[in-house]
Chain A
Amino acid sequence: MDHRKLAEIQSLTRRSFLGSVGRGVGVGLGSIALASMTNCESHVESEAPLVDPLAPKPTHFPARAKAVISIHLAGAPSQHELWENKPALTRYNGLPCPDEYLKGEQFAFIKGHPTLLGCQYPFAKYGQSGIEMTPLIPHLATVADELCLMRAVKTDQFNHAPAQLMLWTGEARFGRPSMGSWLLYGLGSEARDLPGFVTLVSGDKTPDAGKSVWGSGFLPTVFQGVQCRSAGEPVLFAHDPAGIDRAGRRNILDAINDLNRIEAERTKDAETRTRIAQYELAFRMQMSVPEAMGIASEPPETLAMYGATPGRGSFANNCLLARRLVERGVRFVQLFDWGWDGHGTGASDDLITQLPKKCDEMDRPVAALITDLKRRGLLDETLVVWGGEFGRTPVAEFRDGKKDFLGRDHHPHAFTMFMAGGGCKRGFTYGETDELGYFGTKDVLPVQDLQATILALLGMDHERLTFAHAGLDQRLTGVTKPVRVHRELIA
């Protein structure tokens, strides 16, 4: 695993942030955003009111979605056991994989010539759309007509950390802003008293790529994701110490901010202004985070629908929290759930024992989330994105030649993700793969294209959402490859 902090670029201070605006990046941000930032710069010199860098900003074009809930199944679930009905693969189960597939192929773990592995579960069609699924995800089957399934998503990374970075930051190395940070930078947040970008982690492990998948990279640090805990104190040190009540906290904070304003006047350092804003946010968060994270206030019927249990950290709780957070204006909620890396090296990572267990934990809450958003009228403006950092091979892994357990290796060429709500097509399937589900054959969707499409649903042009850094107007989707928005996915 690659934990390099390599290009983990020291986050820019607001000073350099303003510097880059001065160099004309604002062109890419829309005129009002530019105006607000220019204001921001001028008040360093004068005593104009503080401009909040997280204030909502206009979109480039009308938005379909206002918020994103991303559900990342870290380790990468098998598309073959959930979505990809390939009779040929089942028919040729156990036969050597044809040579033409393996030319120049690199596997993470497979050695020698691999054999094909058919789907382990039967498929059936669901909903009016007739999307095929297996019995591992019965609840998702009930919302089949809400899903916009993408069968030929493609990445070029086949190890977890680089692929997670690729999916969320647009490049396979550390140091670039995550999608949530880009969106917060471009759009601001409507949540005035919650972080605009929240990360919730389940499965006992943080993602392989660590906090970089919600880091702000070279963007100012105000745009990074804040990790909240779904059990215990939601954010550490959120409680005022004994003896300081809200009135006392307000008194103290006012004094801190007043003295910091004097300091900002002396040093002209925009970072001091940011600190004032962050202390104000901290004050509001002390009330709003426990309130937002308090799922105990949900009716028992809702808790049951998600399978959520107040007080315990779980993926189900996180799904319910995601709804509560977008309801309160949070721009980007990012869920990570560990435990999907199904190599089949033992019962703890195989297709027969572990995958059904993980699906059981995932299926109900995700279906509940979609249903719940819909009944509250939030699904139209909330984009749910579901998937792993890559897919799994149509061939068996059989690590070290052992065949006691079934599993699949990492597969970057074609894998399935879905979106729901947020202006994308409903009950729709996009992209095709070959008869083995090995490569995409039609409507292939590189992850950069997916990023551009998600930004488009939020009203942002990925080519205009830029930030000057290291001599380039950087963007989420990178500047080297041609990237396109797949309008076919948009309703």
Chain B
Amino acid sequence: MLGFSIILISALCASDSSTRAIDFNRDVRPILTSNCLRCHGGVRELGGVNLGDRERALSPSKNGNRPIVPGSASSSEVIRRIMHTGDDRMPPTGEALTATQIETLRSWIDQGAKHDPFWSLVAPRSESAPTVSHGDWPRSPLDRFTLARMEAAGILPAQEAAKVSLLRRVSLDLIGLPPSPKVVETFLADDRPDAYERIVDGLLHSEHFGERWARVWLDLARYADTQGYEKDQRRSIWLWRDWLISALQDDMPYDEFVTRMIAGDLLPNANEEDQIATAFHRNTLTNAEGGTDDEEFRLAAVIDRVSVTWQAFMGTTFQCAQCHSHPYDSFAHREYYEFLAFFNQSEDSDQNDERPTIMVRPPHWRTRALDAVTAMKRSSIDDGAFATWIERVTADEASAEVPEHLRTILLKPVDQRDGSEHALLVLASKRSDPVIASELASLAPASVPVMRELRAQARRETRVLDRGSLKSPLEVVEPRTPRAMHSWPDGAPRDRLGLAQWMTRRENPLFARVAVNRLWETLFGRGIVETCEDFGSQGSAPTDHALLDHLAVRLPEVGWSTKRMLREIVLSATYRQSVVASPETLRVDPENRLWSRSPRYRLEAEVVRDSVLAVSELLSPRRFGPSVMPRQPDGIWQVVYSGDEWTTSAGDDAYRRSIYTFWRRSSPYPAMIAFDAPSREVCSVRRIRTNTPIAALASMNDPVWIEAARSMAKRAMASSESETMIATRLLQRALARDPERREVERLLALHTAELARFAQDPTAAVAITGDPAGNADWAAWTTVASAILNLDEFLTRG
């Protein structure tokens, strides 16, 4: 009771703002941002007044008045003007500031007019985990943060999700695929206390982990298989995608991962893979249209690299400063070009051939070649036949049986070929098998554009461009990072490598926060800072600052290991909650800002398609290689001045994971667009999820889904004795849980109705099964499977 009275008294005191301690960020910044900075901020500085910058706000304006005199509100022009009742009043239009707002500004100036840096520019600090009443709930330190806020709001966490729900959730989250029936069965039978941990560890080591997390980076990197702009010609850059998958799969420490993408070419003893990594910033558009100014588009690409660097790693929109000083955040116009100078020395110059490029075999090709042969041996290998083959193709130099890239290996004396080279030849001898042919193609050298610095004597001058225009160059600037940010590392070179060292410093207030926020967003559907792309004053504030900082401090502590961070999060009690919340929780926390239950949201485009292929057993598990073309409707590629055509890939390449789908910027794969994938012309930090009839049409009618339904039906029919069993199996496979009886019965009713329809119309049965021998029963089960692939639960992560 005593404590309560003290709070009450201090609350009463707070209403008397002359005695209240003013917090700049909490009390003053919002008033300035919404009323003053549009005209008196970094952009316009009308009357020579900039209230967004303390130094500028304290210096005299054009008419000689001092806008702010620290310690003396009564001598400050700002106060005089906001209180003025005549024409001199500020703001000049609209409502005057309220008495409370004026009082806040007065107190702030009287108390010294301190400008505290914005929260996101102060490095995260580790706070000790809050104390909680329900001490038995937390499983991980992060749970104490979420629980403390729930308790403060007077609610309790949701119950732990059912075992099967949790399994499906964590499988979709970590590897982007639903669990197989075998995994479900094993997990349900495993009653050891650490059964869930074992599942999590298995998923983190799954060979499909890298593919799932690479998707996030492909959006950030604006990855595509074409150059963009009008003609949108093909570009060979899939080696970078493969590098990305491997780096994530191998859990390359995040600081190293970023360093290699920004400056792999500048590392001491940079190897081929380090060079491939730099293609991250060669995903910029290239304009192959006739009559364009290459310098204009070279610069556009450099500008894009600056934007993407800030958005992806720093969660900051820096490009406002391209044309003018940032209106609300502390970046000056000149600082933009100083930063741009880091990226302005690379050789590339908007050439149609994308140079500089390198021609290399993909990352890990040696182990992959050996693995492919090992996998093959299980089925068939005949040493005698291989020897004969070698003899034959060696004798015939022009033999079409040996791909060009193996010719030099073939010419080597046998004892000088290493095991991996030998493996490539073994694969070549079996090329009549389309799967092996495709595997071999994915091990062939390919071209990839890379970042490479200009020779010292060819280096470019970087100038400030007035209003961002190439036609109005101003003073020359040197590479430098913005003053509002943390300091430059001592002795670091003033190039991209130094920049990477600066970015990955522990002092960087944004780097780790942005990284953990992205992990959280990918798992929970919404970041702790909802605007993942903007941690600045125009973005949203973190819903839980302490939780964000706890995770941000933790990331370097676990050696910048993404997998260890993910492990901590998915093992937490917060993550394990059920999606079902009590009415009280729904009332208090309708938008789940307190993480008081597990979020439930539609799966992302790639996971939707991969799930369809997985549950129908059509999915090819093969990883890596050139992009593939699964079936899409005719006439999608209608790009001006381009005769290029979509040719559906042969064999299992039509059923590879979506991350390998050929991505043309002007006409992305339509089923992916229906589920909100971006076109990848620019960095896309977040995808907007929509729920539209367009997506419903795709999942009901896309021939790929029908083919999947057909395959599911056939398998369930082959392995089940009764109709009830078939319906049950279909539901189990898609939803990874045992169905309720009423669900099975409803599907049996659909089967009966459809069976009657197909019995009357055998041609329809042939059409839907795609098989001349297709019977009514198979056709009816196909429609049942199609219904299941359209269920909200199937499309949703819960």
A interface residues with partner B (beta carbon < 8 Å)? 2-13, 15-16, 18-19, 22, 45, 106, 109, 111, 195, 204, 215-216, 221-222, 224, 226, 232-233, 235-245, 247-249, 251-256, 258-260, 262-264, 266-269, 271-272, 274-276, 278-279, 281-282, 285-286, 400, 470, 480-482
Contacts and interface: CB of A to CB of B under 8 A. Distances in A.
A251 B702 contact: no
B765 A243 contact: yes
Given A7-B538, A111-B472, A269-B579, A274 B691 contact: yes
27 contacts: A4-B319, A4-B533, A6-B317, A9-B688, A16-B590, A19-B590, A22-B587, A111-B469, A222-B692, A236-B694, A236-B698, A237-B671, A237-B698, A239-B701, A249-B700, A251-B750, A251-B757, A252-B750, A256-B787, A259-B793, A260-B792, A262-B742, A264-B792, A267-B580, A271-B792, A286-B697, A481-B94
B693 interface: yes
B693 A8 contact: no
B697 A238 contact: yes
Contacts of B93: 481-482
Contacts of B742: 262
Interface in B666-723: 670-671, 674, 678, 681-682, 684-686, 688-698, 700-703, 706
B349 interface: no
Contacts of B319: 2, 4
Contacts of A216: 690
B567 to A, nearest CB: 26
A237 B701 contact: yes
A45 B582 CA distance: 11
A204 B600 CA distance: 38
Query: Which of B539, B685, B700, B746 lies at the interface centre, i.e. has the most chain A CB atoms within 10 A of its CB?
Result: B700
Interface of B: 34, 93-94, 317, 319, 467, 469, 471-472, 525-526, 530-531, 533-534, 538-540, 579-581, 583, 586-587, 590-591, 600-602, 633, 635, 640, 670-671, 674, 678, 681-682, 684-686, 688-698, 700-703, 706, 740, 742-743, 746-747, 749-750, 753-754, 757-758, 764-769, 779, 783-784, 786-787, 790-793, 795-796, 798
Contacts of A16: 590-591
Contacts of B766: 243
Query: Which of B600, B701, B793 lies at the interface centre, i.e. has the most chain A CB atoms within 10 A of its CB?
Result: B701
Contacts of A11: 688-690
Contacts of A106: 467
B686 A5 contact: yes
A286 to B, nearest CB: 7
The 7 closest A-B pairs by CB, nearest first: A243-B768, A19-B590, A243-B767, A242-B767, A282-B693, A282-B696, A255-B750
B701 A251 contact: no
Contact of A267 (B317, B579, B686, B743): B579
Contact of B696 (A204, A263, A279, A470): A279
A6 B534 contact: yes
Contacts of A22: 587, 590
B694 A226 contact: yes
A52 to B, nearest CB: 13
Contacts of A279: 693, 696, 700, 790
Contact of A244 (B539, B753, B783): B783
A100 B750 CA distance: 76
B637 to A, nearest CB: 12
Contacts of B743: 259, 262
A259 B787 contact: yes
B590 A278 contact: no
B94 A482 contact: yes
Nearest to B632: A236
A267 B742 CA distance: 17
A236 B697 contact: yes
B317 A400 contact: no
Contacts of B753: 251
Contacts of B635: 232
B255 to A, nearest CB: 26
B590 A4 contact: no
A285 B697 contact: yes
A5 B684 contact: yes
Contacts of A282: 693-694, 696-697, 700
Contacts of A242: 764, 767-768
Contacts of B531: 6-7, 9
Contacts of B633: 233, 236-237
A7 B531 CA distance: 7
B356 to A, nearest CB: 26
A12 to B, nearest CB: 8
A49 B531 CA distance: 36
Nearest to B472: A111
Query: Which of A252, A272, A400 lies at the interface centre, i.e. has the most chain B CB atoms within 10 A of its CB?
Result: A252
Contacts of A264: 792
B750 A260 contact: no
B727 to A, nearest CB: 11
B691 A222 contact: yes
B767 A10 contact: no
A215 B471 CA distance: 35
A249 B750 CA distance: 11
A221 B750 contact: no
Given A4-B319, A5-B678, A267-B579, A480 B768 contact: no
Nearest to A206: B679
Given A3-B682, A259-B743, A263-B791, A248 B757 contact: yes
Contacts of B671: 237
Contacts of A5: 533, 678, 682, 684-686, 688
A11 B764 CA distance: 40
Query: Which of A109, A239, A251, A281 lies at the interface centre, i.e. has the most chain B CB atoms within 10 A of its CB?
Result: A251
Nearest to B795: A275
B689 A221 contact: yes
A213 to B, nearest CB: 14
Contacts of B692: 221-222, 224, 226, 278
Given A224-B692, A274-B691, A268 B580 contact: yes
A7 B534 contact: yes
Given A5-B686, A252-B786, A275 B640 contact: no
A256 B746 CA distance: 9
B624 to A, nearest CB: 29
B317 A241 contact: no
Contact of B697 (A235, A256, A470): A235
A18 B590 CA distance: 9
B591 A15 contact: yes
B792 A215 contact: no
Nearest to B790: A256
Contacts of B767: 241-243
A274 B691 CA distance: 7
B38 to A, nearest CB: 9
Given A10-B526, A269-B579, A237 B702 contact: yes
